[in-house]
Amino acid sequence: MNKLFSVPLKGGNVTDVFNVDSIDELCAYLESVRADKLYVFDTNTAQILPSLPARSIVLPSGEKEKRWASIDRILSRALSLGMARDSIFVAIGGGVILDMTAFAASVYMRGSRCILVPTTLLSAVDATLGGKTGIDYGDAKNIVGTFYPAESVLIAPDTLSTLSDREFRCGLGEVIKHAFLSEDRRLYQFLSDNKDRILKRDKGVVSEMIKLSLEVKIHYITLDPEEKKGIRSCLNLGHTFGHALEAMKGYGISHGEGVAWGMARAFEAGAAIGITPISYRDECIALIKSYGFDTDYKICASEMSRFMDAIGKDKKKKGGAVRFVLMEENGKPCLLPLENDTVKYAVSND
Ligand SMILES: NC(=O)c1ccc[n+]([C@@H]2O[C@H](COP(=O)([O-])OP(=O)(O)OC[C@H]3O[C@@H](n4cnc5c(N)ncnc54)[C@H](O)[C@@H]3O)[C@@H](O)[C@H]2O)c1
C-alpha cells in the first residue's frame, strides 16, 4: 500500500489517497484502523471483500437508489450500532454508494469520519476527491448534498476486475476528459501510448492511469474547492451536451458515453466559433473514438427541440444562459455561452 497524495483541505486537514495492492491488503488496512465502523455496500459491491463485515449495510444498486430512503437506512443503522462522532463510515462501491455514504457521514452527529473505497473506474477518478456528497431529489440529480471530503481514499485496482466492459469504459470517458484538461499532456500521451493495455485492464497501467487522472482533478479542486471561481466548473467538459443526450435518450446510454459524445460536441462547437484549433479538435475526437466511443451520433431534426429543451435545463446556467466548457488548447478550458445555432451545428453538422 502506498500513499499517492495528501490533498490539502480547508482548516489544515488533508485527504490521504492510497494505492492498495490487493483485496487482502485492503481488508488488513481497514481492520487495523482503530474505530467503530459501518461498512456501506450495494448488492454488487457486497461481494468484493472475502466476507461481509458484521457492521454492514447493503443497499440496492443503481442511481435510482440515490435518495433519502437510502440515507435514512444508513443513518438508522449507524444509530442502532451506537456509532459516535469518531466512528467511521466506510463506503465500498461506485459513485452512488460513495456520494451517499459521505453525505450520511457529513450529517451524522454534524460530521463523523469517512473512508471511501471506489470500486468503479469512474468513482476512482472522479467521485473520491473534491468532497461533493449527495443524493438525487425529485427528478434533479445531486441536488441535495454537502461538501464533505473523506479522510482517506483507498484505491485498489483489483476491485475493478469484476466491472463490465461498459462500466469500465464509462470511467475511461472521465479519464479522457482529464487528459484534455491537463496542461502537461502526460495523461494524454499515456492514453495514446497504452490503449491496448488499458483496455485489457493491465493492473500496473490502470494504477498509473488513475494516478495521472487524479492529479488533474486535484489541480482543479484545489484552485476552486467549492466551485465558486469558474475553475472547477471546467471539469464539466462534455457534460452539458452529454447530460442533454442522456436525458433525451431516457438514460439508455451510460454517463461516460454521454460525456465522450459531449466532449466531441464541445470540440466541434469550439472550432465553429474559432476558439478550438481545427487540428486540435480532430486529434482529440480521434482519441475519444480510439477508445470505442461513438462520437459521430447526430441529433436528427425530429429530436432537435427535445434536445434543446434538455440543454436549457442544464443546472450550470448563469444569468439565464447555459455556459459550455470549450477548449482553447490542451489544459486551457473556458466557459462560454453559445448561440442556439452553434449548438445545433455542433450536434447535427447542419
Ligand atoms: N462526488 C463526486 O464528485 C462525483 C463525481 C462523479 C460522479 N459522481 C456520482 O457517481 C455516480 C456514478 O458513479 P458510478 O458510475 O460508479 O455508478 P454506480 O455507483 O451506480 O456503479 C455502477 C454500477 O456498477 C456496479 N459496481 C460497482 N462496483 C462494481 C464492481 N467492482 N464490480 C461489479 N459491479 C460494480 C454498481 O453496483 C452499479 O450497478 C453518479 O451518481 C454521480 O452523480 C459523483
Residue-by-residue DSSP string for 69-134: HHHHHHHHHHHHTT--TT-EEEEEESHHHHHHHHHHHHHGGG--EEEEEE-SHHIIIIISSS-B--
Pick from 195, 198, 157, 164: nearest CA to 286: 195
Q: How far is CA 92 from CA 48, 147, 195, in A?
A: 8, 19, 28
pLDDT at position 316 is 52
pLDDT at position 318 is 57
Residue 12 CA to ligand 1 centre (angstroms): 29
Measured by CA distance, the residue closest to atom 19 of ligand 1 is: 94
Grid coordinates given for 149 = 471530503
Q: Do domains 2-163 and 167-350 have the same CATH topology?
A: no
Q: Are 79 and 122 in contact (CB under 8 A)?
A: no
> Ligand 1 in contact with 123 (CB < 6 A)?
yes
Grid coordinates given for 274 = 474559432
Measured by CA distance, the residue closest to atom 12 of ligand 1 is: 95
Share of the chain above pLDDT 70, in %: 98
Rounded Cα distance between 277 and 284, Å, is 11
Measured by CA distance, the residue closest to atom 33 of ligand 1 is: 163
pLDDT at position 349 is 73
pLDDT at position 287 is 98
Q: Rounded mean pLDDT of 310-327?
A: 79
Query: 15, 43, 59, 99: which to mutate for ligand 1, most atoms within 8 A of CB?
Result: 99
Pick from 133, 89, 93: nearest CA to 115: 89
Tell which atom from ligand 1 comes closest to the C-alpha of 48: 31
pLDDT tens, position by position, 68-96: 999 999 999 999 999 999 999 999 999 99
Residue 141 CA to ligand 1 centre (angstroms): 14
Q: Rounded mean pLDDT of 191-203?
A: 97
pLDDT tens, position by position, 16-65: 999 999 999 999 999 999 999 999 999 999 999 999 999 999 999 999 99
Give, for 333, the enclosing helix (H) or strand (E): strand 332-337
Asked if the model's pLDDT at residue 317 lies above 80, the reply is no
> Ligand 1 in contact with 257 (CB < 6 A)?
no
Grid coordinates given for 208 = 498509473
Give, for 144, the enclosing helix (H) or strand (E): strand 140-144
Pick the more confident residue, 314 or 313: 313
pLDDT tens, position by position, 226-284: 888 999 999 999 999 999 999 888 767 888 999 999 999 999 999 999 999 999 999 99
Bridge partners for 323 per DSSP: 337
Asked if the model's pLDDT at residue 315 lies above 80, the reply is no
pLDDT band per the 50, 70, 90 thresholds, residue 177 = very high
Tell which atom from ligand 1 comes closest to the C-alpha of 142: 43
CATH of the structural domain 2-163, one choice from 3.10.129.10, 3.60.15.10, 3.40.930.10, 3.40.50.1970: 3.40.50.1970
Tell which atom from ligand 1 comes closest to the C-alpha of 254: 15
Measured by CA distance, the residue closest to atom 11 of ligand 1 is: 95
Sole residue written with cell 473506474: 121
Rounded Cα distance between 26 and 12, Å, is 27
Asked if the model's pLDDT at residue 157 lies above 80, the reply is yes
Segments in 140-227 forming alpha helices (H): 165-181, 186-193, 195-199, 203-223
Rounded Cα distance between 204 and 246, Å, is 32
Bridge partners for 332 per DSSP: 329
Q: Are 90 and 40 in contact (CB under 8 A)?
A: yes
User: What are the domain boundaries of the chain?
Assistant: 2-163, 167-350
> Ligand 1 in contact with 45 (CB < 6 A)?
yes
Bridge partners for 154 per DSSP: 18
Domain at 167-350: CATH code: 1.20.1090.10
> Ligand 1 in contact with 66 (CB < 6 A)?
yes
Query: 44, 64, 133, 154: which to mutate for ligand 1, most atoms within 8 A of CB?
Result: 44
Tell which atom from ligand 1 comes closest to the C-alpha of 133: 1
Rounded Cα distance between 111 and 13, Å, is 14
pLDDT at position 248 is 86
Measured by CA distance, the residue closest to atom 44 of ligand 1 is: 127
Rounded Cα distance between 71 and 106, Å, is 11
Grid coordinates given for 12 = 489544515
> Ligand 1 in contact with 167 (CB < 6 A)?
yes
> Ligand 1 in contact with 236 (CB < 6 A)?
no
CB atoms within 10 A of CB 200: 10
Half-sphere exposure of 330 (CA within 13 A, CB side): 20
Query: 96, 128, 257: which to mutate for ligand 1, most atoms within 8 A of CB?
Result: 96
Residue 94 CA to ligand 1 centre (angstroms): 3
